[in-house]
Amino acid sequence: MALILVRHTAPQGTAGLCYGRLDVPLAESFEQEAAALEAALPPVDHLLTSPATRCRRLADWLGAMRSLAPIIDHRFQEMDFGRWEGRLWSEIPEGEVNVWAEHFFEGRPHGGESVAQVAERVGLGLLQARRRTGTSLIITHAGVVRAALAAGGDARAWQAEIAYASATWLDGPEAKDR
């Protein structure tokens, strides 16, 4: 059994933008990124995806290449940043960002989800995914990958750089030692 999380391909026009649930377009490099990712992935038995268009497009593309029907699972969607969604980070009041930094797990100054809520939601999704037999591939977001790594005991997970179109093995032969 293996569990592999993949971050969606690069979006377009998001530099400095706060986006989680916001639907953002993908960069023109989608086909190249998807093909490189597909070539690097092992055979999989299950394909799950966040409902976000940027994830579903990659899941649909990979599903077509591998004859798998993607299963949408809302537990693997990105954090809801509430009223911060679609705003430039530089335009968000510094006091609100500071409150979030001071109360990182429980804080919700944006009115959306707290990191603790995201971690709980992702944990439930991973628990269910691990009940499947075979290898499961989950197309998702950086915040979800970080939550999964944190749940696995990675002390630096919340600061981890998660590249676009990258695969993170949680279980199986390629998983990092914890």
Q: What is the pLDDT of residues 14-61, one digit of tens each?
A: 999 999 999 999 999 999 999 999 999 999 999 999 999 999 999 999
- Domains in the chain (CATH in brackets) are 2-171 (3.40.50.1240)
Which residue bears the tokens 């009223």?
Answer: 83
The set of residues, in sequence order, having a beta carbon less than 8 Å from that of 67 and lying 6+ positions away, is none
pLDDT attached to residue 175: 74
Closest CA to 86 of 162, 163, 7, 24: 24
The set of residues, in sequence order, having a beta carbon less than 8 Å from that of 150 and lying 6+ positions away, is 119, 157, 158
Report which residue type is found at 31.
E
Q: Where are the alpha helices (DSSP H) in the chain?
A: 30-40, 53-66, 94-102, 115-130, 142-151
Dig out the tokens for 15 from the structure.
Answer: 């530099």
113 HSE (CA, 13 A, CB side): 18
Banded pLDDT at 176 (limits 50, 70, 90): low
pLDDT attached to residue 171: 82
Dig out the tokens for 134 from the structure.
Answer: 């075979």
CA distances from 112 to 69, 100, 104 (A): 31, 11, 13
Provide mean pLDDT across the span 127-146.
97
pTM, two decimals, is 0.95
Banded pLDDT at 76 (limits 50, 70, 90): very high
Dig out the tokens for 149 from the structure.
Answer: 């790594």
Banded pLDDT at 137 (limits 50, 70, 90): very high
Distance CA 107, CA 99 (A): 7
Banded pLDDT at 1 (limits 50, 70, 90): confident
Whether 97 shows a pLDDT value over 70: the answer reads: yes
Whether 126 shows a pLDDT value over 90: the answer reads: yes
* β 71-72/167-171 pair status: unpaired
The set of residues, in sequence order, having a beta carbon less than 8 Å from that of 89 and lying 6+ positions away, is 16, 17, 18, 97
